[in-house]
Amino acid sequence: MTNFPLLLAAEINWHTVFFYLTSFIACGFALAMVVSSNVVRMAFFLVLSLAATSGLIFLTGAHFVGAMQLMIYVGGTVVLLIFGVMLTAQQAFISMKTKAGDWILALIVGGSLLALLTQIAFSVPAWRSSDYQARLQAEVTAAEEEIIAAMAADNRTELTAAEAAKLRPLLAKVKYGQPELTSQVGLGLVGVRVDKPELDSLGYSGYLLPFEIVSVHLLVVLVGAAYLARSKRSAVMQTPEGDAR
């Protein structure tokens, strides 16, 4: 092992490195959020944790969901939360200390829950590691060898349409993961399933109905939230503007 560092650099799995990086950021700031007692700092840690989570989602290849996470969660929801903190701030920095007994109880329950869940997560041997890269590589090599043999037999230098159609998705997988996922998700939301054509029968609406329900739900929530949060004072003082004048 004379050239050990060289080997190491060659064999490092960068996907793994980035996974550990983002997951430590996500978990660390989540922990910091629980420990902190200042609400705005909590919100700040939550932002960092959620942003790192969107990085994790990018690492699973779901780019659209990751960007959604960044946009709706981090950009919308947490800004809303901080807005709420500011509206309800009594003094400059509100902090509500937790009692020591609460901490101990929560740590015991949380710790045992975490131990249980981690145990479950690692209990399936097939889930502990992924052979995706090796499998894909083997698939590509097999396809290439088959095509090389066919080409050598026919003495031709060009791929047939069938061979090209076979190689192309493999190449896309190797280089880009799942580049078509975004359009598939978009089509899935309007009820067209590209990935499972057998589902596309007459009368199948897929995720169109849930999508519509969610949008109506959002509208209702908006109206309801505006109604709940509106100032009640205008009922007492008939014209606030008039009072101000």
Partner 1 sequence: MADYFSTWFPEGWDWLGWLLAAIIQAVLLLHVIAVGAVVFIWMERKIAGRIQDRLGPTRTGGKFGWLQTLADGIKLLSKEDLMPRDADPLLFKLAPYISLAASFTAFLALPFASGWVGVRLNIALFFVIAVLGLEVFGVILAGYGSGSKWSLFGGMRQAAQVVSYEVPLGICVVVPVLISGTMDLVTIADQQSGLFSNWLFFHDPFCMLLFWVYFTCGIASVNRAPFDLAEAESELVSGFLTEYSGIRWSLFFMAEYGSMFLVSGLAAILFFGGWNGPIPIFFWVPEGNFTLETLANLVGLGNFLLKAVLGVVVMMWVRWTLPRLRIDQVISMCLKYCVPIAAFCFLGSVLWTALHLPFLNDVMPMQARGDVREGWVQDIDNEMQQLEKRLATEAYELNSAVEGGPQQEAQTSLEEDAADRVALIPTPQPEGAR
Partner 2 sequence: MNFLTEPVGLSHFLAVGAFLFVTGVVCMATKRNTLGILMGVELVLNGANINFVAFASPYFREDNLGLEGNLLALFVIVLAAAEAAVALAIALNYYNNHSTIDVDKANELKG
* Residues numbered 157-186 forming contacts with partner 2, rule: CB under 8 A: 177-178, 181, 184-185
Q: Which does 65 bind (CB under 5 to 8 A by kind): partner 1, partner 2, none?
A: partner 2
Q: Could you say which residues in the range 176-205 bind partner 1, by CB under 8 A?
A: 176, 179, 182
What phi-psi label fits residue 202: left (phi over 0), alpha (psi between -120 and 50 degrees) or beta?
A: beta
Structure tokens at 50: 């959620």
Is residue 76 a contact residue for partner 1 (CB under 8 A)? yes
In the chain, the N- to C-terminal Cα span, in Å, equals: 85
How many other β-carbons are positioned within 10 Å of the β-carbon of residue 207?
16
Which backbone phi and psi does 238 adopt, to 5 degrees? -60, -50
Q: At what angle do helices 14-35 and 39-59 cross, to 10 degrees?
A: 160
Binding mask 54-83 for partner 2 (x = CB under 8 A): --xx--xxx-xx--xx--xx--xxx-xx-x
Q: Which of 145, 146, 154, 195 binds partner 2 (CB under 8 A)?
A: 195
Enumerate residues 6+ apart whose C-beta is below 8 A from 206. 188, 191, 192, 193, 199
Is residue 96 a contact residue for partner 2 (CB under 8 A)? yes
Give least dist CB 131 to partner 1, A: 23
Give least dist CB 184 to partner 1, A: 12
Q: Which of 19, 63, 166, 192 binds partner 1 (CB under 8 A)?
A: 63
Count of residues engaged in binding partner 2, rule: CB under 8 A: 95
Is residue 44 a contact residue for partner 2 (CB under 8 A)? no
- Distance between CA 3 and CA 46 in Å, rounded? 43
Is residue 92 a contact residue for partner 2 (CB under 8 A)? no
- Distance between CA 24 and CA 32 in Å, rounded? 12
Q: Which does 204 bind (CB under 5 to 8 A by kind): partner 2, partner 1, none?
A: none
Give least dist CB 36 to partner 2, A: 9
- In the bound state with partner 2, the residue whose beta carbon lies nearer, of 87 and 244, is 87
- Distance between CA 156 and CA 148 in Å, rounded? 10
